[in-house]
Amino acid sequence: MMRSLLSVTLLILLVLTLTAEASRKPKNHKGGKHEKSRPASDCSAAETQYGKCVPEQGDCGDGLREATCKDRTEKIHCKIPCNWKKDISDCKYKFGQWSSCDASTNTKTRSGTLKRALFNAECQTTVKVSKPCSPKVKKTRGEKKLI
């Protein structure tokens, strides 16, 4: 009788311990921060064909791209930057310094060389990008505002 009571007590203690341990783990945890952008299949990145990122609204921001491998196609999350980078969003470049402002076009430019292509994108080896010049004039440290 005493042994059966001890066995039941140990069994209940074991069940409570396992239940407490299971509740500590986060539910629906999917892994690292890049989990959303990877297809949940057995394919490697080289085997997978990726489509262009299509924004949900407008021409930039959060969107979806198709990832196809073997006979399976999935939609995965992606993001298109909302500035001059949106044309080269799947290509990573190393850029030089911005040029000085061209007064006739009111733009400045810089060149970049390809570091890597993401999602098997076709990328140019070098690119030249431009953006409008800032209307603000930067002040040096010693300058003070005149009121």
pLDDT score of 140 = 65
pTM (whole model) above 0.95: no
Sign of CA dihedral 31, 35, 40, 42: negative
Task: Assess whether 52 and 72 both reside in one domain.
Answer: yes
Q: Does residue 10 belong to any structural domain of this protein?
A: no
Residues in the chain with pLDDT < 50? Answer: 27-36
Task: Assess whether 125 and 108 both reside in one domain.
Answer: yes
Distance in angstroms (rounded) separating the CA atoms of residues 116 and 120: 9
Strand extents, DSSP E, the chain = 49-50, 54-55, 61-69, 72-80, 91-95, 107-117, 126-132
Task: Assess whether 53 and 66 both reside in one domain.
Answer: yes
Question: 2: helix, coil or strand?
Answer: helix
pLDDT score of 18 = 63
Task: Assess whether 126 and 103 both reside in one domain.
Answer: yes
CATH code for position 69: 2.20.60.10
pLDDT score of 30 = 46
Q: Does residue 93 belong to any structural domain of this protein?
A: yes
Domain span at residue 102 reads: 87-133
Q: How many domains, the chain?
A: 2
Alpha helices in the chain (DSSP H): 2-24
Supply 111's token pair: 């060149």
Task: Assess whether 38 and 77 both reside in one domain.
Answer: yes
Q: Does residue 128 belong to any structural domain of this protein?
A: yes
